[in-house]
Amino acid sequence: MPNNFKIKSSQYPVILNLSIFADMSELLKHECGITVLRLLKPLAYYKEKYGTALYGINKMYLLMEKMHNRGQDGAGLANIKIDIEPGHRYISRRRSIKQNPTASLFRKIQKRFNELSEKDKDKLDDIPWLQKNMPYTGELFIGHLRYGTYGKYGIESCHPFLRQNNWRSRNLLVAGNFNLTNVDELFDFLVDIGQHPKEKADTVTVMERIGHFLDEEVEDMYFKYKEKGFTKKEITPMIAKELNIKNLLQRAFKKFDGGYVIGGLIGHGDAFVVRDPAGIRPAYYYHDDEIAVVASERPIIQTAFNLEANQIKELDPGHAFIIKKDGSISIDEIIQPIEKKPCSFERIYFSRGNDASIYEERKNLGLYTCNDILKEINYDLENTVLSFIPNTAEIAFYGMVKGMEDYLINQKKQLIAEKGASLDIKELENLLRFRPRVEKLALKDAKLRTFITDDANRNDLVQHVYDVTYGIIRPGIDTMVLIDDSIVRGTTLKQSIFKILDRLHPKKIVIVSSAPQIRYPDCYGIDMARIKDFVAFQAAIDLLIERGMWQLTQDVYAEAKAQLLLPAEKNVNVVKKIYEPFTYEEISNRITELLRPTDIQAETKIIYQSVENLHKACPHNLGDWYFTGNYPTPGGNKVVNKAFVNYIEGNNARAY
């Protein structure tokens, strides 16, 4: 390709195919997955129409297995049988923390039915017998997949949690995708009313708080009807029929600060799913005359029930999807919505990429990094190889490929317009044949077990988590451009990726993050709690020290300490001042220096997505607090101030 092909275009959007090496190779644990399913017809209906009385459990397996991206530390499933006769078990629950927990969970459940089939196959068609004698043959299900962002990893940490009582209407199952910033406050409330929670954990606290108000609602109704002369036996079904779930949830969720989608089943057959008022955590629903379903992601429901995307609705922030025992459905405001700030990381990385809108947004994330990339490679496309780090950056990679092709088309049009008839056939053919050099340079091997105990040899093993494709890069000539979802801590980049790529002897290695610089801790469900871990924060501190500005950290520390004495709603994020002396580019350049291994030969550069382009790519998920420090709830500002105080004081504890 002739050198004069390096044409800059300030008007045409530059779209480059970036091979992004995913720092998401540092597994970032995050939001869990939840699904609630209610069968609205008798089991005999599903047996006749779909050929099995196990329609519900089969659909739950599909829903949960398709959502395995949201949790691999544990899985749990619970089922309630509605109107089963006394003397028969009506709540079933099983949880698993084994490898591939969803598959393990359902294998255990399926085993019971397989044994029944071998012993007496006809019983599988005997619906009254099944409902009396076999678990998971009820009408109401709740499933959960867990990523443990911190804390315990045992079976007792797996959802759904069960609050048991011999009165059906006081049994409560709770599962959720949530993290609260004010667990201490909520815990103290429970202690003040005389409870003795078994641990100070947000799941236990949430369940006991909902349970407390459930008890009060049930008791109020009981005494109301007792005074009117009804017997205890008569009152029980009246409570189930008239229990005001909306009122219960409004009381229970009044003080919650955080990001959450919380689902619950009540023993007599009511169910609910509540979304936080900022819409931080995702929830989608669908219902018809056969089923009602809520799940953390839209394509999960699409696939399980063969639906179109427009048939599935997003649950509005601050609202609850409520299913009564009789099958009636309502969507009610529980908490007044605030400015909508759905988590943008859902679009960048967490949610499944087969959602139609997420797929396009991830392609756009790749596309919008291209101007910066072309500037960095000096528009030398002939000597640049583009790739991605397997596998999470692949969709962003496609967007950049398409964009780069569009850019080249524009450049070719300009060149043809300028030279016209002076181009001979060979020159024209070479021009038309020129394409971006797109290759799969990085390959991720199966997990290598770090059985070697000494640090030096373990680090050598870590370097080989990835492998590379040999024979493509021209030593000392080619620049490698690779795209990653995000760069959080940079550990894998420094210890493995740069080193393994340098073995190909490129002239330069450019790593591009499709997400902006992560500067602030998350407190709504992502495993990014300690500010000292972020390489962007380390870069800012390094620059402050280099420029003799360490006193700024002490000033911010004093301000943060003062903020923590105020109520959460009065807190402001004073940590933003740490970044104010520097441009975005200065932070990126210092990150490059910090993450460059000392023993490699190639030049290196790290480029980050801008916040503006993130919002352009993902216009409906504007939650960006980990990039900008603009937290959607008061508790977030308190958490970031506490995180900075912990950093200065050398305290490694989480800030919430």
Output the domain CATH number for residue 125: 3.60.20.10
Do 530 and 544 share a domain, yes or no? yes
Do 573 and 522 share a domain, yes or no? yes
Q: In Å, how far are 377, 401, 428, 482, 602 from 380, measured between CA atoms? A: 6, 16, 19, 15, 17
Do 318 and 409 share a domain, yes or no? no
* Distance separating alpha carbons of residues 517 and 609, to the nearest angstrom: 8
* Distance separating alpha carbons of residues 288 and 74, to the nearest angstrom: 31
Could you give the number of structural domains in the chain?
A: 2
Q: Mean pLDDT, consecutive 10-residue segments, the chain of 656 residues?
A: 36 30 45 94 96 96 93 93 94 94 95 94 93 96 83 80 95 94 86 81 88 96 95 94 97 95 98 98 98 97 97 98 98 98 93 92 97 95 92 91 91 90 89 94 66 48 76 97 94 92 97 97 88 97 98 98 95 98 98 97 98 97 97 96 97 87
Do 457 and 501 share a domain, yes or no? yes
For 229, the 3-state DSSP assignment is: coil
Q: Across the strands, what pairs with 603?
A: 508
Half-sphere exposure (CA, 13 Å, Cβ side) for 628?
16
How many Å from the N-terminal Cα to the C-terminal Cα in the chain?
56
Do 50 and 172 share a domain, yes or no? yes
Task: Indicate the residue among 292, 308, 342 that finishes a domain.
Answer: 342
- Which structure tokens are listed for 137? 């043959």
- Output the pLDDT for position 170: 96
Question: 204 in a domain, yes or no?
Answer: no
Do 585 and 464 share a domain, yes or no? yes
Cis peptide before 391 (omega within 30 of 0): yes
Question: 319 in a domain, yes or no?
Answer: yes
Do 65 and 165 share a domain, yes or no? yes
Within 8 A by CB and 6+ apart from 340, the residues are: 278, 279, 317, 622
Q: What is the CATH number of the domain that holds 388?
A: 3.40.50.2020
The backbone torsions φ and ψ at residue 206, rounded to the nearest 5 degrees and listed phi first, read -60, -45
- Output the pLDDT for position 526: 85
Question: 509 in a domain, yes or no?
Answer: yes
Task: Indicate the residue among 342, 362, 385 that finishes a domain.
Answer: 342
Cis peptide before 160 (omega within 30 of 0): yes
Q: In Å, how far are 149, 436, 587, 590, 603 from 535, measured between CA atoms? A: 19, 31, 9, 9, 19
Within 8 A by CB and 6+ apart from 251, the residues are: 213, 216
- Which structure tokens are listed for 480? 């490698």
Do 304 and 395 share a domain, yes or no? no
Q: What is the CB neighbour count within 10 angstroms for residue 438?
A: 18
The pTM (predicted TM-score) of the whole model is 0.90
Task: Indicate the residue among 342, 375, 391 that finishes a domain.
Answer: 342
Do 273 and 353 share a domain, yes or no? no
- Output the pLDDT for position 459: 56
- Output the pLDDT for position 446: 54
* Distance separating alpha carbons of residues 352 and 492, to the nearest angstrom: 23
Do 331 and 441 share a domain, yes or no? no
- Which structure tokens are listed for 256? 């919650």
Do 411 and 290 share a domain, yes or no? no
- Output the pLDDT for position 91: 97
Question: 246 in a domain, yes or no?
Answer: no
Do 511 and 605 share a domain, yes or no? yes
Question: 310 in a domain, yes or no?
Answer: yes
Residue 113 lies in domain: 33-178+261-342
Question: 120 in a domain, yes or no?
Answer: yes
Answer for the pair 507, 481: CB distance below 8 angstroms, yes or no. no
The order of strands in the sheet holding 74-80 is 91-96, 74-80, 140-146, 33-39, 291-295, 284-287, 313-314
